[in-house]
Structure 1
Amino acid sequence: MTLAMERKNDSEFILKSLLAGGVAGMCSKTTVAPLDRLKILLQAHQPRYKSMRVPQGLAAIVKDESILALYKGNGAQMVRIFPYAATQFTSFEIYKKYLLRLGLPRHTDKFIAGAGAGVTAVALTYPLDTIRARLAFQVVGDTRYTGIANAAVTIFKTEGGVRALYRGFVPTLMGMVPYAGLSFYCFEMLKYMFMKYIPQYACGKLDRNSGGLVLSIPAKLLCGGFAGAVAQSVSYPLDVTRRRMQLALMNPLTEKFGMGMVQTLTLIYKEDGVVKGLYRGMSINYLRAIPMVAVSFSTYELMKQTLNLDTGMKI
């Protein structure tokens, strides 16, 4: 194969991977957008919702605002999630390809590639996550931003420039390593085990092009859901810390959470402890994270098959 042909194939692979990853991210986040918004309100102790359970909180949002309010901030989320997920999945494929040559222990390359992919994606799209969180935190009667552009300009001008858009970035990076690493590791490991040991239950028909095994949709969802549960359990306290830092300046009473990561993490623990502080909102997080990661991985796998990126696995 000529060098020109290799470059063309590589470019086509990257473009298709970006598309598959972006679509997967948009589908997964839209699926759980109402739970995502309520999680933000609970994590940051929004006064109106801090004592409510999940059903009460969702009902209150609809009653106080409208059913569309369940998706408040989802526009910013879509603007962020397409490049984020596209970058994450594509980076994972690239890192995995190069790490495979190092001869690492089985599946270790998946964890490293996943962690690296998560760090790469979050570094490129973090300001949009801050903006989305600010928009989702707003409630009726306390509207500070009119949209994505207004929020970006306001935060930039009044809170310290680019640095303000990256508030909470350090705990995000620290949380992303175990979260993304474990997500990809668990999914890939379960996928391999299902195909190796129970293909008669977990696999659909053989891929028509290669004869390789392909996971059925229920098996994809199960692998993705389990991967999401494990990853979130480990990284959640850092996610809470990130949110408290991002939203600190939305309320004078919470400005003390706008300090560094260690100080914020310590303050959350001192004031609210582990269950009501560092793991606050964890129940709703499981409700959203498990289907979100399940849909994300499943959609990505389906998109790969549709775009002829995945020829099936031969065990």
Structure 2
Amino acid sequence: MAPIHKNHAFAVPQFTIRDYSSFFAAGALCCTISHGAMTPIDVVKTRIQINPAFKGLGIISGTRLVIAKEGAAGLLTGFGPTAVGYLAQGGAKFAGYEYWKKSFVQIAGDQDSAVKYRTAIYLGAATVAEFFADILLTPLEATRIRLVSEKGYATGLVTGFTRLAREGGVRELYAGFLPILLKQIPYAIGQFTVNEFCHELVYRNMTEETKRNLSATSNLAIALGSGITAGFAAAIISQPGDTLLSQINKGHGPSGSMVYRLTALAREAGFKGLFAGLGPRMILTSGLVASQFLMYDGIKHALGAPPGLEIHKEN
């Protein structure tokens, strides 16, 4: 990555449109591949959340029931909107994070301020990037949920999206926008901020020569360890939002505005209920986040994209 360290000249890389296009492509591919590969798990998870016949089942027993009822192809229900949704969301999130991080560094104005306020820069960049990415994701996530939850609703992505837009309009397409923000923004904050600090912790006491001479295995170990740790953090801080999103998708909660429904559901669930199922989700999310960062860096390198901007504090 292109570093901004203390005792170095304060220089912010000037990314071009081509650079941001590469960031977008790398983010889009890493997210659509990782989330697309998890479609069978998402199908079973959604069935367990909303179908009484699946109540009390686990992932393995739920998978067996889906296959028994719908065949193996049933595990790929909703693959189209999942792949397209996270293609758009992933590209916007990763490219947006690079853009907003650089913008906030420039707003900081000088080297010392950028390093001093790096946590705020990470948090702000992740939040703004995820907000705009979720504008792209929400209608496709709504389509996915309908395809998975209502058998025979449509034949696929295009027919499902068209029917939902025709019958419910923009309001129905974006009915889940607030719950998705409550899940995805904390997720992005954990994913990016913790990954940044893990790298900083590892590199802080290395000389520049040591960094340049790290073996491919060492770089892979650092990236993998940072990604797994960031995945754990992302799962923990986004778990309440994920729980509430699941409840909303099941139609639970009182009638009224979305804010009122979410507040009532959170109060009803309590602290323990909001974090139910955290263990398995931490395992899944750690693999998801780690694989995304590994693929993102690899695809960027293959596309000839420049390194991202680092703001690390050195001893």
Tell me the TM-score normalized by structure 1: 0.79
Match of 1:176 in 2: 184
* 1:59 CA displacement: 2.3
Corresponding residue of 1:265: 262
Which of 301, 305, 309 aligns to 2:305? It is 309
Of 107, 111, 114, 2:123 maps to 111
Amino acid at match of 2:45: K
- Asked if residue 278 in structure 1 is aligned to residue 278 in structure 2, the reply is no
Counterpart in 1 of 2:160?
A: 151
Aligned equivalents of 1:72, 1:97: Cα separation in 2: 39
Q: How does 1:241-256 map to 2 (within 5 A)?
A: 241-246=244-249, 248=251
* Structure 2 alignment gaps of length 5 or more: 1-13
Match of 2:170 in 1: 162
Q: CA deviation at 1:183?
A: 1.2
- The SS at the match of 1:268 is helix
Deviation of 1:87 after TM superposition, in Å, equals 0.7
Of 64, 73, 76, the residue aligned with 1:59 is 64
CA distance in 2, matches of 1:270, 1:114: 28
In the alignment, residue 194 of structure 2 is paired with which amino acid?
A: C
**Is residue 217 from structure 1 mapped to residue 225 from structure 2 by the alignment?**
no
Q: Which amino acid aligns with 1:181?
A: I
* CA deviation after TM superposition for structure 1 residue 30, in Å: 2.5
Q: Deviations over 1:142-184 (max 9, x none)?
A: 432222222223323333x111011121122233332212210
The equivalent of 2:290 in structure 1 is 294
Gaps of 5+ in 1: 1-7, 208-212, 249-253
Deviation for aligned residue 1:15:
1.3
Q: Paired residue for 1:20?
A: 26
**Alpha-carbon distance in structure 2 between the residues aligned to 1:272 and 1:73:** 29
CA pair 204-259 structure 1, distance change in 2 beyond 3 A: farther
Given residue 191 of structure 1, which amino acid in structure 2 is its aligned partner? Answer: H
Among candidates 120, 137, 141, match of residue 129 of structure 1: 141
Task: State the distance in 2 between where 1:137 and 1:283 align.
Answer: 25
Does structure 1 conserve the Cα–Cα contact (< 8 Å) formed by 2:123 and 2:193? yes
After TM superposition, the score normalised by the length of structure 2 is 0.79
Change (3 A) 1:220 1:310: farther
Q: Which amino acid aligns with 2:27?
A: G
SS of the residue aligned with 1:132?
helix
How far does residue 266 in structure 1 lie from its aligned partner after superposition?
4.3
2:32 is equivalent to residue 36 of structure 1: no
User: Alpha carbons of 1:245 and 1:156: their partners in 2 closer, same or farther (altered >3 Å)?
Assistant: farther
Change (3 A) 1:217 1:284: same
Output the CA distance in 1 between the equivalents of 2:153 and 2:185.
Answer: 33
Q: How many Å separate the matches in 1 of 2:118 and 2:65?
A: 48
Q: Would you say 1:236 and 2:244 are equivalent positions?
A: no
Structure 2 counterpart of 1:106, which letter? R
Q: Give the secondary-structure state (helix, strand or coil) at the position aligned to 1:146.
A: coil
Query: How much has 1:273 moved relative to structure 2?
Result: 5.2
Post-superposition offset of 1:237: 2.1
Query: Structure 2 vs 1, CA of residues 106 and 232 (structure 1 numbering), >3 Å: closer, same or farther?
Result: same
Residues 39 and 284 of structure 1 are in contact (CA less than 8 Å); yes or no, is this contact kept in structure 2? no
* Residues 264-306 of structure 1: CA deviation (Å, up to 9, x unaligned): 334535666555x534543442232221111111111111222
Q: Aligned residues: percent identity? A: 24
Question: What residue identity is the alignment partner of 2:24?
Answer: L
- The alignment yields a C-alpha RMSD, in angstroms, of 3.2
Aligned 8 A contact 1:229 1:286 in 2: yes
Q: Deviations over 1:209-243 (max 9, x none)?
A: xxxx9962343222122212212212222223234
Seen in structure 2, the aligned counterparts of structure 1 residues 310 and 197 have a Cα distance that, compared at 3 Å, is: farther
